[in-house]
Structure 1
Amino acid sequence: MVLLREGLCPGLTVDMVKALQTEDIRTVEDLVSSDSEELAQKCSLSYKALVAVRRVLLAQHTAFPVSGADLYEELLSSTSILSTGNHSVDKLLDSGLYTGEITELAGGPGTGKTQLCVSVAMNIAHELKQNVLYIDTNGGMCASRLLQMLQAKTTNTVEQMNALQRIRVFRVFDVFSLLCCLQNLRACGLQKGSVGGGSVKAVMVDSVSAVVFCMLGGKQTEGMSLMIQVATELKMIAKDYNVAVLVTNHVTRDGNGQLKAGLGQTWSHIPRTRILLQRANRPGAPTSLRTATLTKSSRQPCYLMEEFDLCEQSAEELKSRFSGKRKLDTTA
């Protein structure tokens, strides 16, 4: 709601604003929705001047209609899809991480959330040659593991170093430091966090729950507010700078004993897409085998499941040993 004030548009003088306020016309909405002829008589204003001001304000503040086709074309031109390098996860994400959105990996300890994040960062930096900002809140980012992944992809040391330079790691261990880090990145347009001033295509936070969960519940009333601030910063980064945001979260159990993402109902609306990671507890299955279940998506049917091996076995090899994608029984 825009208040009427001097200089808001040509012709809107102090005397006109005061005259309009005597008839309780205080906002642009009040002025454009009133009868101009009747208002001019009550306020002793020039009808011609009042209509001219009204037309200018309408042009300045009216939302013009945009067709669905134009919106779709704008979406296509601004959205990029970043492959995670994991065939199974890409299938669940409908080809990969989408820029402008928040994607969440939820899972218990040892389910591979951090390893998958590191693998995604490596793939974006090496294969796609894009810059990545990795915010580590639990000390799980291991440079030696990242280098091992790169060495498995290429033996060229120059390529390895170039990929490593495209990944910028920030270590924060409380929610206030996380907020400060996100705000600083947004304030400088993400450029200071990238190599050589290049653009950043992905921001990862591993994990959000590690610094937020301890602030929720009990007598700490500010915890929910801090969580919303973190969510707002991540959404603004994703939208304003057209980057893909990937976060990790812990899990809890609902009333029926089923696993669900943590941080409560409020946080559940923040990610556009959510994947639940679990160990594949099946006779004969390797300990490194994981299941990825799509629990929230605007593009794919929910409760699709994929299996993948943390030891980076090929998708074809996994398919020959196990069943691959399967549909969960939602009635169970």
Structure 2
Amino acid sequence: MVLLRGGMCPGLEEDLVRDLRAADVKTVEDLVSSDIEELAQRCSVSFKALFAIRRVLLAQHTAFPVSGADLYEELLSSTAILSTGNPSLDKLLDSGLYTGEITELSGGPGSGKSQVCFGASVHISFHLKQSVIYVDTTGGLTASRLLQMLQSETSNTEEQMEALQRIHVFHSFDVYSLLDCLYSLCSGGLQQASAGGGSAKAVIVDSVSAVISPLLGGKQNEGLSLMTQVAGVLKTLAKDFNAAVLVTNHVTRSSSGEVQPGLGASWSHVPRTRVLLERVEEAAAASCSSLRFATLIKSSRQPCLIKEELDLQWWSRSQVEHSGKRKLDETDP
């Protein structure tokens, strides 16, 4: 609350402030919420003068109301949805990765987390023409793998190289170098990495659990503190820099034996959306190892526990092959 005092605005002199206090009007809030006509009579001041004072104080000390429609328009203008390039995954994510949010992919070894990150980064770079920050904490990302995926998109060498230049790779093999990397992105690295002005719209950390989970044993104090720092700077990148942040996580088993994302309850509040990747056992038996089940386990937009079958090879085939496969599927008995 802001106390009334002489000189706050034209016409509000000490004598009037004294009269207002005598009428039990001591703050700006009291004045703007009072019946001005009645108050003017009690303080022996003209209605016109008191109304003018009230109008100035309203402009200086209160927020103007914003309609729900205005808020929605602001959301639309500030939020972008980046397609991952895989229609099954985009369907699960309600169209793709949202800027301003953290999305998590969790899964066991060989579940395809890194493959999804590779594919999404290639699609965002080549098709959406957006810069991608890729933080690799396991050493699993190679330029040859990215090039192979780009070669399935275009045979034009110049286009391949342009897309590769939009993918900026950082290697961070411990939590301290990860924090250094993320803080440097906040300090200007995100803008510098953008090829067409503005900031890079996609930040991928594969994997966040690889550098944090080894620190969560024993008393956990230091590990939890470092995990909180990582979470904080990732949220800053998402919110303040309007980036779509994608992280990967390992899995553990609950006391009942169910598979669940790792890093515990404290971390569970960090991602806005969480997807669990699992092998399709029938496909594995039939040597179709690229098929996975993707289950939505946390979302503010979609019903949880919906599941999609995901083909990891989607990003490694040309769009012509994708279309041909769809037509073949439609004609299969």
Query: Shorter-chain TM-score: what band?
Result: 0.7 to 0.9
2:97 and 2:298 map into 1 onto residues whose CA distance is 14
Query: How far apart in 2 are the matches of 1:315 and 1:230?
Result: 41
Amino acid at match of 1:300: Q
- Structure with a larger share of its residues in helix: 2
1:292 Cα shift?
0.6
How far has the Cα of 1:284 moved from its partner?
Answer: 3.2
CA distance, structure 2, for counterparts of residue 243 and residue 159 of structure 1: 24
Distance in structure 2 (CA, Å) of the matches to 1:164 and 1:107: 27
Letter in 1 for 2:276: L
Name the counterpart of 1:266: 266
Correspondence 1:288 to 2:290: yes
Determine the C-alpha separation between the residues in 2 that align with 1:275 and 1:315.
Answer: 26
TM-score of the two chains, using structure 2 as the length reference:
0.77
Counterpart of 1:273, as a letter, is T
SS in 1 for 2:226: helix
Instruction: Indicate the residue corresponding to 1:42 in structure 2.
Output: none
User: 1:218-277 CA deviation, whole Å, 9 max, x = no partner?
Assistant: 134121121111111111111112111101011111121111111111111111111100
| Residue in 1 that maps onto 2:99 | 99
Structure 2 residue aligned with 1:206: 206
* Cα pair distance change 1:320/1:255, threshold 3 Å: farther
Change (3 A) 1:190 1:54: farther
> 1:311: Cα distance to partner?
2.3
Q: Structure 1 residues 33, 116: closer, same or farther in 2, change over 3 A? A: same
- The answer for the alignment partner of 2:246 in structure 1 is 246
SS in 2 for 1:153: coil
Cα distance, 1:99–1:196 mapped onto 2, change above 3 Å? closer
- Classify the secondary structure of the residue corresponding to 2:128: coil
User: What corresponds to 1:219 in structure 2?
Assistant: 219
Q: Distance in 1 between matches of 2:267 and 2:279?
A: 24
Share of identical aligned residues, percent? 63
Contact 2:130/2:194, CA 8 A, preserved across alignment? no
Query: In the superposition, relative to structure 1, how do residues 180 and 110 fare at CA in structure 2: closer, same or farther (>3 Å)?
Result: same
> Which residue does 1:183 correspond to in 2?
183
1:120-144 per-residue CA deviation (whole Å, 9 max, x = no partner) reads 0000000111100001111111211
**Taking structure 1 as the reference length, what is the TM-score of the superposition?**
0.77
Aligned to 1:310: 312
Letter in 2 for 1:221: N
Query: 2:106–2:113: 8 Å Cα contact kept in structure 1?
Result: yes
- For residues 78 and 211 of structure 1, the distance between their equivalents in structure 2, rounded to whole angstroms, comes to 32
The amino acid of 1:180's aligned partner reads D
Q: Equivalent residue of 2:192, what SS?
A: coil
How far apart, CA to CA, are the structure 2 residues paired with 1:285 and 1:76?
44
Are the aligned partners of 2:2 and 2:28 in contact in 1 as well (CA < 8 Å)? no
Cα distance, 1:58–1:220 mapped onto 2, change above 3 Å:
farther
Classify 1:64/1:287 alpha carbon distance in 2 versus 1 (closer, same or farther; 3 Å).
same
Equivalent residue number for residue 157 of structure 1: 157
Q: 1:148: which partner in 2?
A: 148
Q: Distance in 1 between matches of 2:151 and 2:128?
A: 16
**Partner residue, 1:131:** 131
Deviates more, 1:311-320 or 1:132-141: 311-320
Q: Is the 8 A contact 1:308 1:318 kept in 2?
A: no
Amino acid at match of 1:306: E
Equivalent-residue separation in structure 2 for 1:285 and 1:273 (angstroms): 31
Secondary structure at 2:297 match in 1? strand
- Residue aligning to 2:35: none
Change (3 A) 1:196 1:299: closer
Gaps of 5+ in 2: 15-25, 32-44, 46-51
**Corresponding position of 1:24:** none
| Counterpart position of 2:118 | 118
> 2:215, 2:136 → 1: CA distance?
18
Partner AA of 1:124 in structure 2 = I
Task: Number of aligned residue pairs: give it.
Answer: 295
- State the alpha-carbon separation in 2 of the partners of residues 63 and 224 from structure 1: 39
RMSD: 3.4
**1:30-85: per-residue Cα shift (whole Å, max 9, x none)?**
965789xxxxxxxxxxxx9xxx9999887556444322111111001111111101
Check whether the contact 1:99–1:238 (CA below 8 A) recurs between aligned residues: yes
Structure 1 residue 216 displacement after superposition = 1.6
Deviation (angstroms), 1:159: 0.3
Structure-2 change in CA distance of 1:63 and 1:209 (3 Å): farther
Q: Structure 1 residues 138, 32: CA separation in 2 closer, same or farther (over 3 Å shift)?
A: farther
Q: Residue 201 of structure 2 aligns to a residue in which SS?
A: strand
